[in-house]
Homo-oligomer: A and B are copies of this chain.
Amino acid sequence: MDAKARILPNGEAAPAAVLDSPTNPMVTPLLTDLYQYTMAYAYWKAAKHNDRAVFDLYFRRNPFGGEYTIFAGLEECIKFIANFKLNEGEISFVRQSLSGSCEDGFFDYLRELDCSEVEAYAIPEGSVVFPKVPLMRIEGPVAVVQLLETPLLNLVNFASLVATNAARHRFVAGKSKMLLEFGLRRAQGPDGAITASKYCYIGGFDATSNVAAGRLFGIPLRGTHSHAFVSSFMSPDEIIEKSLKSSDGSTNCEDFVSLVHTWLNKIQAVQWSKSSNGMFGQTNHSELAAFTSYALAFPGSFLALVDTYDVMRSGIPNFCAVALALNDLGYKAGGIRLDSGDLAYLSSEARKFFQSIEKEFRIPGFGKTNITASNDLNEETLDALNKQGHEVDAYGIGTYLVTCYSQAALGCVFKLVEINSQPRIKLSEDVTKVSIPCKKRCYRLYGKEGYPLVDILTGENEPIPKVGERILCRHPFNESKRAFVVPQKVDDLLKCYWPGTSGKPRVELPSLKETRERCIKQLEQMRPDHMRRLNPTPYKVSVSGKLYDFIHFLWLNEAPVGELQ
């Protein structure tokens, strides 16, 4: 990768806040579709490359059958824009990829190209957003803005999709549960995983298993051991170093392995005496050895995967034996993880077992030992667990979360809405695919109860909606759908994140934590009927009366008149 100089794209000295490059060094000006370069050449050849264009980035439908989306990926987009510059190797590859007849002047033009004349406006990252409302509005010389199209879509599409998926999982799991993202191994490529870790955190997850994502973004990390660890041991006899200091350092247990055995015998004696639940008998030795070894390595954070052999007959008694031995030395065990079977049943049985241990051996709090569940969890299985009743405290979620299995893509598009101050419209047989022309402003209007009521798009120069003043909100394409609204609060949605030469102040990019907090807060602010899983109410997106009239004027103007025969 080429080092990025700490100077502004236009060659001026760097100001205080220089933006880093995108997280993934593979995000370069070549991470775009070839046609962006062929178009750039055609624009340049027609001396049209500096025509001032306005593009909207938006999506047409909320994912996962829901009625909301989380906007994410903005920070990476702005970092990409801020550092957009082709190096010689890249220019020479573009030359080689275009037709041999392209003039040299074009490559000189590419050499000078940057985003100093581009302006980028966006809704803050982590916001709850809706179809048709521009998430970003990019203005600038048409050739440059076209080159940005594909990377911006790539950086927003999956980020927003997976953040939304995370938010939906959080909604079903409930606020009190710990949510862990475990998707690295099944994700779509290395940074399919890293991207997922980042945006699941924004969407409300608490931690990830992905060490690289933890390092890059400061996301809390979680993880203990796998089935392979458990089955790599044969028996406790192979444990050589058996001593363990107490948590306060005051005493030393010479033979922790024996202490564990003593506890296992006590537990089994109790089980035996209570008879008849089929759970006595020998536990698995290889598992006991693995748990004991793990506790010797991490006495302060012992968490055991209990389903390698048999949860209730082996995993849970073995865990409890080790946890009680640790308790003797002043350590509190972290809990168990269930990775297979009937999680509702097993978590409830485990809870009862822990409670009986608390009572039998008078270990206060043992009944509340943490239970983590994993194994192909998704929105539906979380919902089913809730309905069955369960005792799970934390969920580890992988495949379905990070690959967005139930809908693997969000359809953000990037449409030209104005060029040289002339509004442009993209027509389609399918009315949902007709674009809303003009450089626009976007507002969120709030009602009396504090909930967002409706988003409204207006022309750039229309008056700003005022609190307490009645405003007409029209459906952009359905003439009969319209409503008057008297907003109690008005949010101007698009902020300036990259001012170009406009002289406007640049809104600073917030930290990942701030973005996460915004997301969680915005989700809480929504009216509950928009958020429910079954038949949620669509949130209204509207246009002003003036913009409505203009859309339909332009539409009639551009569409050819058919002739039925």
Contact = CB atoms under 8 A, between A and B. Distances in A.
A24 interface: yes
Contacts of A422: 234
Contact of A212 (B30, B195, B562): B30
Interface in A118-154: 142, 146, 149-151, 153-154
Contacts of A409: 186, 188, 399, 403, 405
A53 interface: yes
A453 interface: no
A190 B241 CA distance: 47
A426 B210 CA distance: 24
Q: Give this chain's copy count.
A: 2
A428 to B, nearest CB: 6
Interface in A504-559: 558-559
A158 to B, nearest CB: 5
Interface string A138-174: 0000100010011101110111001000000000000
A320 to B, nearest CB: 17
Interface residues of A, number: 136
Interface in A187-244: 187-196, 209-212, 214-215, 221-229, 231-234, 238-241
A467 interface: no
Interface string A271-300: 000001110011010000000011011111
B42 A297 contact: yes
Contact of A298 (B25, B99, B194, B196): B99
B232 A24 contact: no
A361 interface: no
Interface in A14-73: 22-28, 30-39, 41-43, 45-48, 51, 53, 55
B193 A42 contact: no
A25 B42 contact: no
Interface-central residue, A153, A403, A409, by most chain B CB under 10 Å: A409
A188 B38 contact: no
A83 interface: no
Interface stretch (A308-316, A385-393, A481-489, A491-499): A308-316
A184 B28 CA distance: 13
A424 interface: yes
A341 interface: yes
4 closest Cβ pairs, A-B complex: A35-B223, A34-B223, A42-B297, A153-B185
